Structures are given as structure tokens and as C-alpha cells.
Amino acid sequence: MKLSALRDLYLLSVEWKNLKPSSKRIYEQAFAYADEFMDNDIRHITRPMLLDYRDRTYGQKARCRLGLMIIFILMQFGWDRGYCSDNPARGIRHLPPKVGYAKWEMEEVGRVLAIASPEIKDAIYLALYTGQRRSDLVKMRWDNYDGTYIHVIQQKTGKPLAIPVHPVLRKELERMREKGGDYMLTTKTGLKWVGDYLGTALSRAAREAGVEKSIHGIRKTTASVLAESGCTPFEIAAITGQTLQQVTNYTKAADQKTMARKALERWELQYST
């Protein structure tokens, strides 16, 4: 059986059907990365072949990691169902580090806001002051906003959140609401944004301001600013909906700065009395 045939069986499986849409998009990209193996008989895909792939693609972090990930998933699927006698992708080490989304500095936020179109500005304000993913931003409706909180059910986690509205965002929302419509974020023609198109448009505006970063990085900015303001990981997670581990990863540098500042304040207080 060819790996492509195993992929086709996987696409009909319950495992595939139960994946979230965001995960399916990642897997589809991974299939493309592993295309060079699709015509191979699964019995002839060996560990040395996969180690060679790792070595050749190591400099292309996403290609390397996702290509090996999807081969592991397909071969494990085949092993569970008796099509494969082994999974040569199991436990491959020394992969390139994961590619994260770079955090926006507040100075960069200001630069992009200064040149962006009104529609992109709306997206930046909403992203910055709610800390939500792109997929949740484009779903926010005016009937989710009660004047004090924006109520969200996160698409990825299913987690319900009541996000208190910052005074800066409240002022922007008053302006945005004058456009009418059901959704907070709309295109120039008044249509609801599709997440991928919003991400592309925002990245294009950022590049024009000399900022090579994506909308996903603004979520890290929110968490970092909250940490620098002295918020605990639990308080940050209550706004962004992230896990405590994610909050910790996003705010390591900010936490250090906050703790150092507080330590110095206590030190100064001790010697001033």
C-alpha cells in the first residue's frame, strides 16, 4: 500500500473527522510537506529515509517538523489497523525548534496603527485589548457586547469568556459601531472578515510599516502587557483564555521585569523608612 492510499483512508476516518478546522488546515499543509513520500510503499519507508529528510529540511523548520509529524500520524494510523508492521517515524529526535509567533512591541503597534486603514486599525485594537485568536476576533458580534464585557466562546477550546472592555477599546467600539452591521470587524465593503484574509491583510499593513509580524503575535503582546502591569498568570488566563502553561511561556520576560521592579520598590521602601 502506498502512503497516499493510507492518507486517503485516514481522511475518511473518525480521527480526521474529530479534528478541529484549525488542526485540519495544519495537517493539510503537512501532507504537502510530506508529498515526496506519498508514492512510496509504506513497507519501504525506513527510518534512515526519514532521518535523511530531517537533515535535508532542518533549516525549513515548519517543513521538517510537520512533514515528520504527518508521516508519524499516518504510519501510526496504519499500524493500529494492521497495514503497517512498524512506525519508523516514532521518537525521531533532534528536530528544529518550534516556530513561534513573534510578539509585537507596543512601539510597533503604534507604527502600524499610524498607517493602517480603518478596518485594520479596528482589528488591531480588538486583538490587543481582548487577547483573542484571529478565529474568535472575526466572530465577535455586537450582540456579544453588553457595554461592559465582550462575551466569547472560543472556537479552539470551546471555553466561554467574559472579557472586560478596556476604556481605550470602549472608545474605539463606539466609533466602530457607527458603521452598523452585525459584526464588530468588517471589510471596507462591510462584509464579515474571513480569518485567513484578515491575517493576510493585517500582515501586509504591518510590512508597510516595517513590522514583519502576524496578527497572532498581538496575543503575546496582550499577555506581556498584562504581566508587566502586575497581573498574575491566573488573571491573564481569565482574559486571554490560554492555559497557565501558555501564559507562562508568553510572559517569561515580562514576569522577570515585573518581579525585578517590585523587588526594587520594596528595597527602596526599606531604606527610605
In this structure, the answer to whether residues 76 and 119 fall within a common structural domain is no
Q: Which of 218, 236, 254 marks a domain boundary? A: 218
Length of the chain: 273
Among residues 46, 48, 51, 37, the alpha carbon closest in space to that of 5 is found at 37
Identify the pLDDT of residue 253.
66
Do 123 and 162 fall into the same domain?
Answer: yes
With respect to residue 241, please indicate whether it lies within any of the assigned structural domains: no
Q: How many CA atoms lie within 13 A of 87 on its CB side?
A: 19
Does residue 213 sit in the same domain as residue 112?
yes
Q: For position 73, what pLDDT does the model report? A: 97
DSSP 126-164: HHHHH---HHHHTT-BGGGB-SSEEEEE-TTT--EEEEE
Residue partners of 228: CB distance under 8 A and separation at least 6: 254, 257, 258
Range of the domain at 193: 106-218
CA–CA dist 51, 57 (Å, integer): 10
- What is the reported pLDDT for 20? 82
What pLDDT is recorded for position 272?
59
55, 125: one domain: no
Pair 194, 123 in one domain: yes
Question: What distance in Å separates the CA atoms of residue 92 and residue 47, rounded to the nearest whole number?
Answer: 9
Under 8 Å between Cβ of 111 and 202: no
What is the CA 212 to chain-centroid distance, rounded? 16
Are 66 and 117 part of one and the same domain?
A: no
pTM of the model: 0.68
Q: What integer pLDDT is reported at residue 196 of this predicted model?
A: 81
The domain tally of the chain equals 2
* Residue recorded with cell 510537506: 33
How far is Cα 22 from Cα 158, in angstroms, rounded to an integer? 13
Asked if residue 239 belongs to a domain, the reply is: no
Note whether 75 and 126 are same-domain residues.
no
- pLDDT tens sequence for the chain (273 residues): 999 999 999 999 999 999 988 789 889 999 999 999 999 999 999 999 999 999 999 999 889 999 999 999 999 999 999 999 999 999 999 999 876 688 999 999 999 999 999 999 999 999 999 999 999 999 999 999 999 999 999 988 889 999 999 999 999 999 999 988 999 999 999 999 986 889 989 999 999 999 988 899 999 999 999 988 888 889 999 999 988 888 887 777 676 767 677 777 777 777 755
Write down which residue in 174, 202, 218 finishes a domain. Answer: 218
SS3 188: coil
Do 214 and 111 lie in one domain? The reply is yes
CA 56 to chain centre: 27
Q: Is residue 88 part of a domain?
A: no
Q: Is residue 232 part of a domain?
A: no
Q: Cα(252)–Cα(247) distance, rounded to whole angstroms?
A: 8
d(C-alpha 11, C-alpha 79), whole Å: 16
Residues 114, 41 within the same domain: no
C-alpha cell at 3: 502512503
90 located within any domain? no
Q: What pLDDT score was predicted for residue 194? A: 82
Which of 45, 80, 115 is where one domain is finished? 80
Query: What CATH number should be reported for the domain holding residue 197?
Result: 1.10.443.10
Residues 118 and 198 placed together within one structural domain of the fold? yes
Using DSSP, state whether 71 is helix, strand or coil.
helix
